[in-house]
C-alpha cells in the first residue's frame, strides 16, 4: 500500500504451508489462462518470485496444496498441458437420492426441523425427475429458505410439503 508504506502478501503466499482453494475456477475476474500462466512455474518448481515497487525481486516458497474447484468442464477452461500438471483430479457427481435424503436430514437436524419425507418426494417429482440437476447444496438453500419464510411469518419453523414447494418456487423458480 503506497499510502501506509507496507506490502501485503498475495493470497497464494498467505496460504503457504496450508491449502489454497480456488472455488468456482473459471469465474474469476481474470481469465483462467492468465491465472494459470502466472502460476505454472510456481506449481512445478514450488517457488515463486515477487517484485517490490523498488524493482527488487525475491524468491518465496510455494508450498501448499492448491485445489481448483469448478462445475465447468475443465477442458473448456484449461488446456491439456495444464491438466497434465494437475496430477490429481476428483470428479464429484450429483448425489443419488439416498445420499440426498441423508444430506437433507442432516440439514433438517442442523436447523432443528423435523424431517419431512414428503418434502423430498416433492422435490424429486417436481424438479429432479424433470431435468434439474440434483445438487447437495439445494438441501441447505431450500431448508434455509423454509426457515426464513417461517420466521418472516412469525410462525414456528416446521417443514412441510407446502413450505418446501414455496421455497423451491422462490429459489429454483418454475423449472418444469
In which residue are the cell numbers 424431517 written? Answer: 115
Q: What are the structural domain ranges in the chain? A: 11-85, 97-171
In sequence order, which residues have a C-beta less than 8 Å from that of residue 50 and are 6 or more positions away?
9, 10, 13, 57, 58, 60
Closest to 49 measured CA to CA, from 61, 37, 34, 66: 61
CB 130 within 8 A of CB 173: no
Classified as helix, coil or strand, 90 is coil
What pLDDT score does 2 carry?
67
Q: Binning pLDDT at 50, 70 and 90, where does residue 1 land?
A: low
Q: Tens of pLDDT along 42-68?
A: 888 889 888 888 888 999 988 888 888
Which whole number is the average pLDDT over 153-164? 96
pTM beyond cutoff 0.75: no
Q: Tens of pLDDT along 11-38?
A: 888 888 899 888 888 887 888 778 777 7
What pLDDT score does 146 carry?
97
Amino acid at each position: 500500500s503506497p499510502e501506509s508504506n507496507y506490502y501485503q502478501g498475495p493470497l497464494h503466499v498467505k496460504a503457504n504451508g496450508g491449502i489454497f482453494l480456488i472455488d468456482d475456477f473459471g469465474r474469476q475476474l481474470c481469465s483462467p489462462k492468465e491465472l494459470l500462466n502466472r502460476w505454472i512455474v510456481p506449481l512445478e518448481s514450488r517457488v515463486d518470485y515477487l517484485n517490490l515497487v523498488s524493482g527488487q525481486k525475491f524468491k518465496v516458497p510455494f508450498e501448499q496444496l492448491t485445489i481448483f474447484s469448478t462445475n465447468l468442464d475443465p477442458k473448456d477452461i484449461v488446456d491439456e498441458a495444464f491438466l497434465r500438471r494437475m496430477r490429481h483430479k476428483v470428479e464429484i457427481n450429483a448425489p443419488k437420492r439416498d445420499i440426498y435424503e441423508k444430506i437433507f436430514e442432516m440439514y433438517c437436524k442442523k436447523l432443528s426441523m423435523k424431517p419431512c419425507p414428503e418434502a423430498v418426494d416433492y422435490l424429486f417429482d417436481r424438479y429432479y425427475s424433470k431435468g434439474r440437476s440434483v445438487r447437495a447444496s439445494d438441501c441447505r438453500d431450500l431448508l434455509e429458505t423454509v426457515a426464513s419464510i417461517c420466521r418472516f411469518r412469525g410462525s414456528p419453523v416446521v417443514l412441510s410439503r407446502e413450505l418446501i414447494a414455496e421455497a423451491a418456487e422462490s429459489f429454483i423458480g418454475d423449472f418444469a
